[in-house]
Amino acid sequence: MLTYLPPATRAIILLNVLVFLAQSATGHALDGPFALWPPGAGFHLWQLLTYAFLHESIAHIFFNMFALFMFGAPLERYWGPARFCFYYLVCVLAAAAVQLAVGATSANPEPTIGASGGVFGLLLAFGFYFPRQRILLLFPPIPMPAWLFVTLYGLLELVLGVTGREANVAHFAHLGGMLGGALVLLLWRARSNVRRGF
């Protein structure tokens, strides 16, 4: 299956899987130095990137990699590998920045791990470029256009983040990934309009 994926998407998935295997083999010893910690609680600059390749469980990495497979592959084919990697990296960094800003207000700082910030950025771009593409939910199995799925999912993350439900999930990192993605898409659109003379 992976051989049919474009190169950057395939490489990111394989890297995530290899890192997860290393986590499992070391009893998650990698989480300490490479998870995203708030400033003053073990933060290091490299964590802005490395946290996005760590995962808590098989279910965690499975759903993130499945989403990367579903939404990353068509976007990479549309953009090409270089633009895809740039976009994904910006989403990962934006997710980290927003999570750090929110975590700074917490009395009990906790580390953040997972590719979800980058994945949510990809989800936003998929809804932007392929708004009418049908997406079938798993629970419940209801088909809906991509633009509606992205909108509802984003609103759900905002509600869950503000209300504090599912406290062990970094909802604001998800929203940060979408925010970073939105800024990149707006920048690309503005540049495209300038080239066209609008």
3-state helix, strand, coil in the chain (%, to 5): 70, 5, 25
How high does pLDDT run on average in the chain?
A: 89
- Look up residue 154 and give its DSSP letter: H
pLDDT band at 194 (very low <50, low <70, confident <90, very high): low
Give me the pLDDT at residue 75, please: 97
* Residue 135, H or E segment: strand 134-136
Residue 198 pLDDT greater than 70, yes or no: no
Residue 196 pLDDT greater than 70, yes or no: no
Strand partners, 134: 145
25 or 158, higher pLDDT: 25
Give me the pLDDT at residue 6, please: 95
Give me the pLDDT at residue 2, please: 62
* Structural domains counted in the chain: 1
- In this structure, are residues 16 and 75 in contact, taking their beta carbons and an 8 Å threshold? no
pLDDT band at 159 (very low <50, low <70, confident <90, very high): confident
- Locus of tokens 């995530």: 16
Residue 142 pLDDT greater than 60, yes or no: yes
167 or 83, higher pLDDT: 83
2 or 143, higher pLDDT: 143
User: What are the DSSP calls for 71-86, one per residue?
Assistant: IIHHHHHHH-HHHHHH
CATH, residue 167: 1.20.1540.10
- Locus of tokens 């490489």: 11
Range of the domain at 43: 2-196
Percent of the chain at pLDDT above 70? 91
Give me the pLDDT at residue 192, please: 76
Closest CA to 54 of 77, 73, 76, 28: 28
Phi, psi of 15 (to 5 degrees): -65, -45
* Radius of gyration of the chain from its Cα atoms, rounded to whole angstroms: 17
* Residue 144, H or E segment: strand 143-145
Can you give the pTM of this predicted structure? 0.90
> Integer distance in angstroms from the first to the last C-alpha of the chain?
43
* Residue 112, H or E segment: none
Strand partners, 145: 134
28-44 pLDDT, tens digit each: 899 999 999 988 788 89
